[in-house]
A = this chain, B = another copy of it.
Amino acid sequence: VSSGEGNTKRIIPVILSGGSGTRLWPLSRKGRPKQMLPLVGDRSMLQVTAARAARRELFAAPLIVTSAGQAAQVAAQLGDGVRLILEPCARNTAPAIALAALSVADDDLLLVMPSDHLISDPEGFVGAVELGLPLALGGMLVIFGVRPTRPETGFGYIRRGEAVGDGVFRVERFLEKPDLAAATAFLADGRYDWNAGIFLFTAGAFLQALETHAPDIAEAARRAMGDSRSAGSVSPQAEIFSAIRSESIDRAVIERAANVVVVPMDVGWSDVGSWQALHAVSAADGTGNAVSGPATLLDTSGCLIRSDGPQVMAIGVHNLAIVAMGDAILVVPLDQSQRVGDAVALLEKGAAGSD
């Protein structure tokens, strides 16, 4: 099996672009997911992600795992050079990455990245990837850990064990999303990193671990792909793929495998998973307001204000997100912005109920 034309085993970025979250509603919506939007600056999160792994001596053209519905948007944003794997439906990250691994050679190196995260220090990130490279080539599953900056309860954590190389550590333990007390202890301890969902391994090492720890997923993914390894876009068989167990790579493989190592990194990572997170990575004025679009502010501070058209007037409010996009307006305290998903569910339920 060969991965193609003159590839001297450069790393293949695998960008997971299947998401359709509602946490940044009304900016992100069904059909207009977060990764397709420019959240900070002019380029979309997907474009920024692709650019992060674009140094040609190190990286090959990316492989994008996405849905058929997003294929045209992805192609429009990244150009024709990318290869697409079109998932018939969303089955979480383990099946998605299995498709990617099955579409390349076993000794191809894969750098798996979510499509909707920010890294403010992309050179530092590439440096971290280079630290992990020898171990990935040696058959290890490399995960990248993010130095925590707050007692975040929304992420999984990785506890470092002893060093196994320059800046690379054995993983002592994976921890599910902790409560605040545990998260505070993790932050103070210093040996815990956030699991950012970024991985480096050979396709073969991943598939072997998947075979071992989640053979049902490995087998079904193989059947769904059939003989469809190809340099072009790949469409797995819908009937088989949709029957696969929906599972994350973490639960299916990474938390179970013995050959996992972690490369901690401090590269300005953000999942931009809430309006508060977006506010934190946005340029703000002297009073902490990050404003995009027409706005008039009076005695207003610490706010994220974003409008795609309407004139926003904010008076005497602090630490709020005020977002006007399309036919929708959101007002929420930044420190409660993790509740947006719940409210969107409420809205959709209400809309369904009133039909």
Contacts and interface: CB of A to CB of B under 8 A. Distances in A.
A313 to B, nearest CB: 5
Contact of A316 (B317, B329, B336): B336
**Number of contact residues on A: which range applies?**
35 or more
Interface in A320-338: 320, 322, 324, 327-333, 336-337
A316 B298 contact: no
Given A298-B343, A346-B296, A328 B316 contact: no
Contacts of A314: 330-332
Please indicate which of the listed interface residues A310, A320, A333 has the most CB atoms of chain B within 10 Å of its own CB.
A310
A286 interface: no
A315 B339 contact: yes
A342 interface: yes
Contacts of A316: 332-333, 336, 339
State the number of copies, please: 2
A307 B329 contact: yes
A119 to B, nearest CB: 29
Contacts of A343: 296, 298, 313, 315
Given A315-B332, A324-B329, 13 more contacts: A296-B343, A298-B342, A298-B343, A307-B329, A310-B324, A310-B329, A311-B327, A313-B329, A313-B340, A314-B330, A315-B331, A315-B337, A322-B331
